[in-house]
Amino acid sequence: MSSGVNGWVLEGTGKSPAIGWTVATDAPLVGLEQAAETGDLIAADETGTLYKIDRSGRIVNMVRGRSPVRGLAWSETGAGGAVLVGQNMLYWFNEQLQFTGSAELPGLTMSVAIESQANYVAVALGDSINVLFDSNHKLFRHFDSHQPLVRLRFLLDEPALVGVAEYGLLTSHHFDGSKLWSEKLFSGVGDLAITGDGRAILLACFAMGIQCHGGGGEHRGSYHIGGTASRVATSFHPGRIAVATLERMIYWLDTDGQVLWQGLTPDDVQRVLVDPLGKGLTCGFKSGRITRLDWLDRPPQRAR
């Protein structure tokens, strides 16, 4: 790899990672998601183009889509995904990035999530109503979250969703729309990450760092790093955490909050993703460059 492109990695402090690969989208990056089971990534740029990137960093498929993209979701199995376009359009796509359906929604869309098998899609609307679609792309449920949810995720081990409002609310709802729990927050939220078992919920809360919650919403503590935390990601099992700040710092942490490595990036960070096994992270920059960093050691798995 060119030292000019990835010199920021070599200048970081702590246990240095290996640079796995770097690719770039044709236009600024607006979305980046990964399928935990296959290791494939899906990226979306400002032109609406979708990219499928395999675990070795090779772009294996690229489709010119619709724009502007305002939200992207990709299933854990890699069976399909969903994308929000414009003010109120939802599109489904399959593993070949072929569009398989669409729906015009009754209001401004805020966020989108897809169930691990790609059977269900949830969309949060600006009027605090959240809608669920089934495997036939038919609307079958809606519920009120009382605040618009700017981040939304399906849990893997139970039929439920977790969502977060930009200010003041972390909440979970069952598939039938009933509220399971809610927790008041005292900070704005830039990002949401959840471990595979749903027992750890991490929120990037800007000046308040990374706030940690349990599977029932209860507050469990925080990780305080230098700067303003805007992006967060975690491994499938508790082990490794990646944090990006508005000051362009990337932090690689263990679950005790120890900083294992940190580096100053050359561009604003759009998305960070952690390998499900905690072996490394993928950093997507707003410029369109996507870089994979690998650590040779595997984090210890804690008892469940």
| Paired tokens of 10 | 């070599």
Percent of the chain whose pLDDT exceeds 70: 97
Pick the CATH number of 1-25+190-304 from 3.40.50.300, 2.130.10.10, 2.40.40.20, 2.102.10.10: 2.130.10.10
Tokens 């700040």 label which residue?
Answer: 245
How many other C-beta atoms lie within 10 A of the C-beta of residue 157? 11
| Paired tokens of 158 | 């139970």
Tell me: domain 30-188, CATH 3.40.50.300, correct? no
Alpha carbons 30 and 52: distance in angstroms, whole number: 14
CATH 2.130.10.10 segments of the chain: 1-25+190-304, 30-188
Residue 279 gets the label, from left (phi > 0), alpha (psi -120 to 50) or beta, of: alpha
Which residues, listed in sequence order, are joined to residue 242 by a DSSP beta bridge? 233, 252
| Paired tokens of 226 | 């230098």
Helix (H) or strand (E) holding 151, with range, is: strand 149-154
Alpha carbons 125 and 163: distance in angstroms, whole number: 12
CB 246 within 8 A of CB 227: yes
Among candidates 255, 122, 218, which has minimal Cα distance to 177? 122
Q: Which residues of the chain have pLDDT under 70?
A: 1-4, 298, 300-304
pLDDT of the residue at 4: 67
pTM equals: 0.95
Residue type, position 251, single letter: Y
pLDDT of the residue at 304: 44
118 half-sphere exposure, CB direction, 13 A CA radius: 21
pLDDT of the residue at 300: 67
72 half-sphere exposure, CB direction, 13 A CA radius: 27
pLDDT of the residue at 167: 83
Tens-digit pLDDT profile for residues 216-258: 999 999 999 989 999 999 999 999 999 999 999 999 999 999 9
Helices (H), 50-146: none
Tens-digit pLDDT profile for residues 91-133: 999 999 999 999 999 999 999 999 999 999 999 999 999 999 9
Among candidates 230, 235, 233, which has minimal Cα distance to 286? 230
Instruction: Give Cα separations from 302 to 199, 221, 267 (angstroms).
Output: 13, 18, 34
Alpha carbons 105 and 39: distance in angstroms, whole number: 31
Alpha carbons 265 and 271: distance in angstroms, whole number: 13
CB 290 within 8 A of CB 282: yes
Q: What is the DSSP string of 260-298?
A: EEEEE-SS-EEEEEE-TTSSEEEEEETTSEEEEEE-SS-
Percent of the chain whose pLDDT exceeds 90: 92
Strands of the sheet containing 210-214, edge to edge, are: 191-194, 200-204, 210-214, 219-223
Phi and psi at residue 63, to the nearest 5°? -130, 130
Alpha carbons 79 and 68: distance in angstroms, whole number: 23
CB 64 within 8 A of CB 303: no
Phi and psi at residue 218, to the nearest 5°? -65, 140
